[in-house]
Structure 1
């Protein structure tokens, strides 16, 4: 369905419902005082002023005119947009209890996923159990340290794949290569198996399904505008999402079933063993079905965002040769001749860390953080009604000239001030904040740094097809995460 048909359908459906039930809306109740915002059209709100394919940038432009806290209407839904670090901190911390619930797109509700999703379910004992197993059974320092040999093995396989392309002078789809590496790093950590091979059908299947899920989640959907629309799934989003979920869940379910049928399981040999042991305990809050949905969340949230960050970082360096030389020089000074990199080596590479931070500032994996108010809440003198949608524009804060000097330039040096710049109070919160901060940050931190270092230490790089660095296409593609619009094709030219 194209954009104009979408708008017209919303207008028609709303008009019909408004006529039928107008008498119910004539109560003399005083509306909460909302922040200012652009004038909107009846029925469709500000839809014509918003570019949904480039939503973070579109909202950022509006906020420059209407302020760091503003109200826009998507159809008839009031949405408050936060574009200030100070207000974001107040929103996510001071008003945490009222804003601890994520906005859940209707498409996500396929197979009742929202009821067992650590990303979307409301704060509850079950949600706390999910967060607990993420912190103690999956992403704890001890678990990540014990599994780093698996991740190093996957990096060696990446090097072999790149060597083949190097000998043949072939360009490498960086997003595809990094995606497969992250996929196998996760599948081995969780299940002790590879899910894919480079340039294989299995890798393409996973990437296509994950991409489809992210696209479906970010699409404008009439069903998000009210329960009456949700009942009918008029655009078929939930139906399509169900098929994507089923592809991934079938793989996870077969692995769990096989593990459960083993007579003598090796306790604690991988994440799955540890989680199955946890579910067998008396009064365990989680079931095997909950584990399926947890893995669904972790793979959807972790694969594209992690691999895209590596792609963006390499693209930024190739576009800025002097920054590339500084990064490679640091790696040559710190790493041994075999280029073996451990997680502990990351702390010895401040410029590499600065490159990653600058990449996350420019291209945050979660450009918009969406919440739903469960009660009326006051922010900066304004009162947000219950059930309002609250968007924190992380992309906008990363490109705000009042916070950053030359915000559109790739300048890793801005993060070499000797302080921890991974803080939301200076406009840098690429992983969210508060109780809803991404639980996989420790894993992503290790994988992004070690993979980028591996790419840069073992190979020099040039753009494919004779492309010049200054002409590189750096267009962003918004689909919940922020992917590169045109894939980076680069040739590994030598070791």
Structure 2
């Protein structure tokens, strides 16, 4: 009886060693097939984790450094998943234009799946008939030029309230937290546009909503181990990620159910008819109207409405206020730019107390300042795609279901595309045809192709209106003891690259 027991013990001890040895040899000397694939260059990678350890807290920066050594098209391995890293405008054009259809999917990731109704939104939905339907609803019904113009009064009112807050601090010579003010403004604008009223008023309810949205954005940009190393999925349960995602998904679902029910109730009180005045319709009104009328081929369900609304929040709040805080940070660091921008705004205002949206088209230097901000500080530094079939990119073989990250941050700082790429110089965009709409691949803050952001116009109008008014009404100084050279310009980690340190400045009222 002892010999079988000894053999069993020996086998139990030896099997893991043999398995690991075989795995390690296969990793060092991969088996070649008769059909040799030409793969993009790769940095050295480790068993199990691949190149995960090389990403760091700011992946867009780490990937730029790796691309400088291995080339603008690299193949990384993040756990079991191949990931193509794109760091040049030519390669980005190949992905997002030449082969846009093949790279029309988003990577399927657990966190976005759970938070965004299993892909019933627009941003994370797999490419296909459903995605085309809801994308069409967003472009034609929610974010058309006519619809965006219908919200002009709401935007101008919220900017006027922000100016009043700043004026109060200016009269007391107090510094203001611009990051906080910009975040509140963009959230208030989106609430009024999406829901028809603010949910961010003072009190416990407003504070809870802000916290809930903040946690939603943090989780959406998080890393889920099980997506890349499936047999380590238990880590996400142990570290609390699963529980956090489940909790915030349930909280937002309950909140959005209340919002939708309120709108349905209001519709019933009107006898079941839609809001006749186009300027009185918010996004939930429009989506309920689409649901009831069968616009775009077939009706959308309740989860689709909630998923689209969550996209509006995740795509229209953090990204917009991030651009504003980076733009003001650069303006504070460059007094020459601030003076030139103020001169333009003053010249167009011609003594008017307020800047309105009808003034914005004439402000070419303002638009250049925002473009230069987007070049240096794209709100989403890494744009994601996934291949649906095998394809050749720049002569390299790319397998189906390869994740792709286009490093918009690195492309915006590419010395082969830009003179003095690290310098903030808005003049480079004056009399330049380069724009942010996805046709110029050296500037990709909103993506391009089928998966490009449909809310570009809404975001740009908001950014321009806010900046024009706060440089028109106030001169700005850094707090005592802070110099332009000492400003902390570090990004925080996450899907949206906020400033790590909130932007604080001292306003001085300007005389007219």
Relative to the length of structure 1, the TM-score reads 0.90
Contact 1:474 1:484 in 2 (8 A): yes
Of residues 275, 287, 293, the one that matches 1:266 is: 275
- Quickly say closer, same or farther: Cα 1:464–1:482, change in 2 above 3 A: same
Contact 1:60 1:83 in 2 (8 A): yes
Structure 2 unmatched runs, 5+: 1-15
Matched with 1:218 is 221
Which aligned pairs between 1:329-340 and structure 2 lie closer than 5 A?
329-340=343-354
Deviation at 1:112, TM superposition (A): 6.1
| Matched residue SS, 2:76 | strand
Mapped pair 1:164 → 2:168: yes
TM-superposition CA deviations, 1:336-361 (whole Å, max 9, x none): 43443333322200110000000000
- Quickly say closer, same or farther: Cα 1:440–1:31, change in 2 above 3 A: farther
Of residues 48, 67, 72, the one that matches 1:63 is: 67
| Matched residue SS, 2:493 | strand
Contact 1:116 1:293 in 2 (8 A): yes
Deviation at 1:226, TM superposition (A): 5.0
Deviation at 1:215, TM superposition (A): 3.0
Mapped pair 1:275 → 2:275: no
CA distance in 2 between partners of 1:127 and 1:19 (Å): 43
Deviation at 1:43, TM superposition (A): 2.0
| Matched residue SS, 2:326 | helix
Mapped pair 1:45 → 2:54: no
- Quickly say closer, same or farther: Cα 1:171–1:204, change in 2 above 3 A: farther
CA distance in 1 between partners of 2:299 and 2:179 (Å): 37
TM-superposition CA deviations, 1:28-81 (whole Å, max 9, x none): 855743200211122222233221x11101000110111110112222322111
CA distance in 2 between partners of 1:451 and 1:112 (Å): 30
| Matched residue SS, 1:45 | coil
Contact 2:446 2:452 in 1 (8 A): yes
Contact 1:105 1:217 in 2 (8 A): no
Q: Which moved more, 1:152-161 or 1:458-467?
A: 458-467
Mapped pair 1:414 → 2:428: yes
| Matched residue SS, 1:484 | coil
Of residues 243, 264, 268, the one that matches 1:239 is: 243
Contact 2:49 2:229 in 1 (8 A): no
Q: Which moved more, 1:285-294 or 1:396-405?
A: 285-294
| Matched residue SS, 1:194 | coil
Mapped pair 1:98 → 2:102: yes
CA distance in 1 between partners of 2:119 and 2:244 (Å): 19
Deviation at 1:201, TM superposition (A): 5.6
Matched with 2:374 is 360
Matched with 1:315 is 329
Of residues 121, 127, 139, the one that matches 1:123 is: 127
Which aligned pairs between 1:23-38 and structure 2 lie closer than 5 A?
32-38=37-43
Q: Looking at CA atoms only, which structure, 1 or 2, has the larger radius of gyration?
A: 2
Matched with 1:257 is 261
- Quickly say closer, same or farther: Cα 1:64–1:21, change in 2 above 3 A: closer
CA RMSD of aligned residues (A): 2.6
Matched with 2:476 is 461
| Matched residue SS, 1:261 | helix
| Matched residue SS, 1:272 | helix
Contact 1:103 1:370 in 2 (8 A): yes
- Quickly say closer, same or farther: Cα 1:335–1:202, change in 2 above 3 A: farther
Structure 1 unmatched runs, 5+: 1-14
Relative to the length of structure 2, the TM-score reads 0.87
- Quickly say closer, same or farther: Cα 1:230–1:119, change in 2 above 3 A: farther
Matched with 1:173 is 177
Of residues 48, 67, 78, the one that matches 1:74 is: 78
Matched with 1:351 is 365
CA distance in 1 between partners of 2:350 and 2:248 (Å): 43
| Matched residue SS, 1:189 | helix
Of residues 407, 419, 424, the one that matches 1:393 is: 407
Contact 1:70 1:82 in 2 (8 A): yes
| Matched residue SS, 2:85 | strand
| Matched residue SS, 1:478 | coil
Q: Which moved more, 1:277-286 or 1:370-379?
A: 277-286
Matched with 1:194 is 198
